[in-house]
Amino acid sequence: MSENCCAQPSAGSAVCELTSVTVSHPESLCPECQQKGKVVQGQTVKALLSVSLRSVLNTDYYFCRTQFCPIVYYSSDGRSDFTTSQLREHVYQKEPTTDDVYVCYCFRHTVADIRTASPQVRDSIVSDINIGIQANQCACDLRNPQGSCCLGNVRALIKQFETSASAPT
């Protein structure tokens, strides 16, 4: 198991990333959308692919978080990429408004769970995730397509729904 991104105090940071793999390379731009990707561990890529693992190269992979780009993972050498259709899970960053997409992959909280929840239930969702993190029950590096803690995504989505609910109509 890799370094635990969910360990406090980094858990919940909107930019929570595994420090052991945060390296910037000029080739880290997505070949499709040309946006900078985030390094992910090879085990993350392997755990989430629904295709033969023979197609996974022994190289660095990046996660593309651009919503409308079909590529999820791409290799640093430009020889390999994987799209949303080749993953076992839907990717929150690619489908942030789809109700049944997980925002928290370890404890299975969906966009709809958060959207339809009362403020008190939203607080309990965050508490549930924190309790799981403290109990060392999360595996964000394997279950979350971004390869790092989801708590920042969960909090940002809650804030987005709270802001839209309080906006004048």
Task: With a cut of 90, say whether residue 12 has pLDDT above it.
Answer: no
CB proximity list for 112: less than 8 A, separation 6 or greater? 99, 100
pLDDT band at 26 (very low <50, low <70, confident <90, very high): low
**The whole model's pTM is what?**
0.83
Domain ranges of the chain: 19-86, 102-166
Task: With a cut of 90, say whether residue 13 has pLDDT above it.
Answer: no
In the chain, the amino acid numbered 147 is G
pLDDT band at 5 (very low <50, low <70, confident <90, very high): low
DSSP letter (8 states) at residue 153: H
pLDDT band at 70 (very low <50, low <70, confident <90, very high): very high
> Is CATH 2.20.25.270 what the domain over 19-86 is classified as, yes or no?
yes
Q: Kindly give the pairing relationship between strand 109-110 and strand 61-63.
A: unpaired
More confident residue, 28 or 73: 73
Q: Could you give the C-alpha distances from 84 to 65, 67, 92, 118, 130, in angstroms and in order?
A: 11, 11, 11, 31, 28
Instruction: Give the pLDDT confidence score for residue 1 in this predicted structure.
Output: 41
